[in-house]
Structures are given as C-alpha cells and as structure tokens.
Structure 1
C-alpha cells in the first residue's frame, strides 16, 4: 500500500474524510462539500485493472479539487476485510489530532464493514465519526454512477469494540515474527527484553514464567483465542491460531 498526495501546511483540527471509491460520485463529493472537508482520503483498489470503480476516481478527484479540497489517494485491497481495517487504522493514526469522518456509503459492503470495524476499534482519541449518506435518487449500475444527489447524512454512533492491550499485541507480534510458533522459554526471554513483563524476585526464573503465564499467555489463549500452548517432550510450544492470524493482519 502507498499514498500519493500534495503536501500542504500542517493545520490542527483539519476536517478529514476517508471514503472508499466504489460506483459513487455524489455520495463522496457532496458530503465533503456540505461538511466543509479540508481533505478527502480516497481508498482506491491497489490493482486498477481488476477494479471497475477505478474510472470514477479521476472524476471525484477533479470535483474535490475544484472545491479546494485536498485529495489523498490510499491504495489498498478492497476485497480483503482485514487489510481494509488495517488501512483505515493506519489513516486514523496518521490523522490523530484532526476530525475524521468515515464514509460508509461510497464503497462496497466489505469496505463499509471494514471501515465501521476500524471506527469502533481505533477511536481512542474520540475523533472518528462514521457516517452514512442516503442518496436522493438511485439509478442502478449501467457503467455510470449508481446514485445521484444526496438526501441526508446520518452519523453512526461508533460503539467501542474491545481490542487487546498493547503488550498483548506486541506479544502476538513476537509469535508472528517467529513463524507463528515459539517455545515458552524463548517467549519469556523476549517478553523480558521488550519489557512486556517485569520481574523483581529472588527466584527470577520461576517468577518470569509465572508472570508470562498470568500476563501474556493466559489473556492471549483464554480471552482472545489467539494462541494455543502444547507440550512436546520437555518443551512447551506457543502456537498462533487462525483467529490470531486474522487479528495479526490488522493489529500489528
């Protein structure tokens, strides 16, 4: 994924819209105009040859620029839910300090789901506002935009989805970086090195494993189902689960 944009001076509290590009034009441009957006980040499929919506991008971009709205292009895989979430998460982090409005109506269903999930998981600064745009007229798809005008803009309450603590995300990254499987002994060493656990005891070895079990392994295994622990011979192995692999795609 990469971004093309025009550099502009850093201004606090910009009104930033994030909008997937689908078969819509008015449902991106008119809300940006009505809500006085300073910048619109357009989510565009990373492989234009596979995307029928690509032809709408230039029209949207031209219309926004005529309104003196900065246009940023963010390329992503519009078919992959977890990659959509990761992309929107990155943009939310990049635009921290600004007022972020996320358009749930302009792209595909999977993009809408990914955008909404990102809004609910990564709204730590309470500056993310997902919204839905009701079209004034629906035209059906015939190679042109599928709607015309806008009737209403409705903000959606971004109810929070719990996500793991940062230390649990970092622990998951350690497992991923080690190919999805790591011995408990090696995990304890790396967790200490990265200060994911802190041990101050005379019997440091025993205290280290106890802290690792309580503070890292138990939450990842029992609360999140991200890992399993299996004993083979004298070694206990920590292995990532399918749920852990999926979560790692957008958490790490």
Structure 2
C-alpha cells in the first residue's frame, strides 16, 4: 500500500467488502489513517441495477443506505462502529456473491472520485475529486484523493471483482494477511461442500509490448551491473538489436529520441515500471521494483 503522506488537499479513500472479518477490515484503515471508507455490505436482494450506487443518501442513516445493521454479525457491527470513530464511513448495499455487482459498484465509486478519467497518475490511485460531503449532499470539491481497495475481507468472488475494478480504473488493491486463524488449516479444510460455481468476466489487460519488455530487460541487466542507463544508451542498444520502434523512427537523432519516448518510455513510466531522473542534458532511466516484476512476468515475449 502507498503509505506516503498525502498533500493537504488529498484524502485516503478505501473500498472494503464487509465480509466475515473484523481486524482485517479495521486495522489497515486505522494504521494508514483512512479518511473515507466505502463498506460493501452484502445485500443479495437489494433493489436497483447491479453496479448502481446512490451517492445522495444520508450515509449517517443506515436506513437510508438500505444496509440493515441488524442483519450483520456483532463483530461486523463492531467493525463499522469502530471505523466511524476515525473515518467517514459510507455503507453500500452490494451482492458480494455477484462479481458484476462488486465490479460495477467499485468502478462507480472510483469514477465518483475521478479514477480512470485521465486526471490521476494511475499509480497509487491518485485521483481528482468530484465528491459529496459527509451528509450525502451533492457538490464538487477541488482536490485529489488516493483510492485503495481491500481484496482480503469478502468472499473470493468479491475479491476478484474488486481486484479487476482496481486494474481497470487504476486504483491500488491491497491484501491483508491475518496474524492467526481460528482453526488450523493444516488439519481442517477452510470450507466444506460446494453450493455452485460462478463464471467470472474476462477483461483484456494491456501487456507491455515486445520492445517495452526488451527495454525493461536491458534496464534489469544494467541495474544488476550497478550501471546507469540514459536514453541514448537505450537507443544505441536498441539499434543493435533492431527493435521495431527504431526501424520506423527515421534517421535523425531527434526522431529516435521521440520514438523511444512515445513508444517505450512514456507507457512504461505511466504504469510505474520505470522512473526518469534528469541528469545534465539527458535523463537517467531507472527500473522500479514493479518494473522488475513485470519483466519477469513477460520476458517470454522476447522468445516470440
């Protein structure tokens, strides 16, 4: 999770399924000082279209939100009440066993906070905000939020829906490992029986291109040798390997720089895979930790 201190105008906004958990819901939000928490409460028979969210209700009135506290367990109510002591809590009715409902509600909340509209960086869920106040009255607020989502606290289908929504809109998912379990999973299975199977939606994800993976690999090699790499070094290296982005660039030095930036470095930087450090008249290109893992995941493209 991104734990850097927010700017004055930023808020930390979290989306959290209210599953059969207490500590894994509350403690990460307390430790990382959440400002706004959307609790996704299970409501299999809720009215309205799947994925729809009513932002105009009074979130301080559970009756208005259509989330019935009496239908919750004691520890779920305790989690809600504890969160309300340090964060603004907005309970939303969601059918947690319906991946499309979870996906739709999460992306709708993200859109409310500006995620995926091109205003955020796509890294760490930075978003421009068009939000309502605590009592649900509509209105715009100038500022930026950071959007996060807990994938640990609901059923597996809900975790998939939340995680997919994060990938689609550029929010930051996080997982919370429990300190203890109530029974030893080495001795007993976690569940028993099968009620049904559920087909999950398929969404195409943008994988890095062959050239982008090749550049990530070059940066990985150079970092292992403790050597810096600038843009011209990458261009010279790419020319020796006849990478496609240079073949279409033309012969001028300016055209080669532009091709490297637009076809390779800009997409990698936008996704957080590389960072650029100005040094003199050039930029040193650094591989990030995420970029290293992405290279490992997609290095098979270099054999295609």
TM-score, L = length of structure 1 = 0.47
Q: Write 1 or 2 for the structure with the bigger share of strand.
A: 1
TM-score, L = length of structure 2 = 0.39
